[in-house]
Amino acid sequence: MRILNIIDIPWFSGITGYAMDLSKGLAKQGHRIFFAGVKNGMPNKLAKENGFETVEICSRKSPFIFGSILRLKKLIEKEDINIVNAHTGKAHFLTYVVSLLSKKKFVIIRTKSDTRYPKKSFLYKKTAKIIAASEFIRKRYLEIGFEPEKVVTIYQGIDVSTIPLPTSDFRLPASVGIIGRLDPVKGHKHFLESASNVLKKFPEIKFLIAGKEENVKYKELKELAKKLEIEKSVEFLGFVENVHQFMLRCSIGVIASTGSEAVSRALFEWMSSGKPVAATSVGCIGEIMEEKFLVPPCNADVLAQKIVELLQNPALAKNAGETNRKKIEEKFNLEKFVTETERIFYEAINDTSH
């Protein structure tokens, strides 16, 4: 197959991660992969680094879409594209318009891996399949009247072969980590408040925060840590290139999000690293995690209790980490991610050719 991915956002996100991991897996199966993205954006940058051909389109806020439509049309006709996979709403619209103008017939797939609620639209009339990156997303489509057979859930898969496992058993003193962009929805405030509670019972524990500043600044988190009188027990690491090396430093992973997590890449990475995780029950997390390690969002006290429970029970923590790794290997692996998507793509091609 010859597959074109369209992503019109410039930054790295769960959308980009989902598309890139899938594309690398599909390329290994012999499929040709193309990307359309904005100038100097991360999707096209990563695509080029992985050897995929790219074309530039306008940003999602730009009204000047005609040039983008012509470039997409030219690429689709020249490269005989079979599948156009639209990863955003604007990408879906561009794909629809190109399908009306192009002499080359192709299959439209809408992949949804973000938290925005879907809307019924004329765009879906020419869309063969909707791929939801979690059951959380799929249910939203069904709630607004989409036919169940049109929407399929395909979870992101992780290639665990390159991910190192912990080299030692769970033991004290331990460290507790959180990783992700600094944004109110990621719950860093609640993470620090829970740290304050944990430190009353385990004063030797270290709490590590890694991630890029966005709508929250490290200065704000440092001020909160100082106010809570825990600043000596918290390390602020900023953006880290090697996520799994950071996770190896941590004994326990935390997802403290108050919402979002339609696709929780951080959770998959914690689990693939063989770490126990305490996580809020938002988005898709309840589909993936064992219920006994879930906590309600915005509740630092309960989060602290769950962390303390893991610290007090090294055997429980060790078993949880091993279970997490096994679940990734068996249920959320890259091979399954790729083969399930391949099947949907081939089905869509066959259905539209009849």
Question: Which pTM was predicted?
Answer: 0.91
Q: Are residues 177 and 282 in the same domain?
A: yes
Q: Are residues 116 and 197 in the same domain?
A: no
What's the CATH code of the domain at 48?
Answer: 3.40.50.2000
Q: Are residues 114 and 219 in the same domain?
A: no
Q: Are residues 29 and 118 in the same domain?
A: yes
Instruction: Find tokens 């440092």 and name the residue.
Output: 222
* 33-60 tens-digit pLDDT: 999 999 999 999 999 999 999 999 988 7
Q: Are residues 61 and 111 in the same domain?
A: yes
Judge contact between 216 and 188, C-beta under 8 A. yes
Q: Are residues 319 and 340 in the same domain?
A: no
Is residue 354 scored above 60 in pLDDT?
Answer: no
- Residue 49, pLDDT score: 96
Q: Are residues 255 and 197 in the same domain?
A: yes
Q: Are residues 195 and 255 in the same domain?
A: yes
Is residue 173 scored above 80 in pLDDT?
Answer: no
- The number of domains in the chain is 2
Is residue 64 scored above 90 in pLDDT?
Answer: no
User: Which pLDDT band holds residue 303 (cuts at 50, 70, 90)?
Assistant: very high
Q: Are residues 320 and 173 in the same domain?
A: yes
Q: Are residues 300 and 339 in the same domain?
A: no
Q: Are residues 326 and 337 in the same domain?
A: no
Domain span holding position 188:
161-331
Q: Are residues 238 and 278 in the same domain?
A: yes
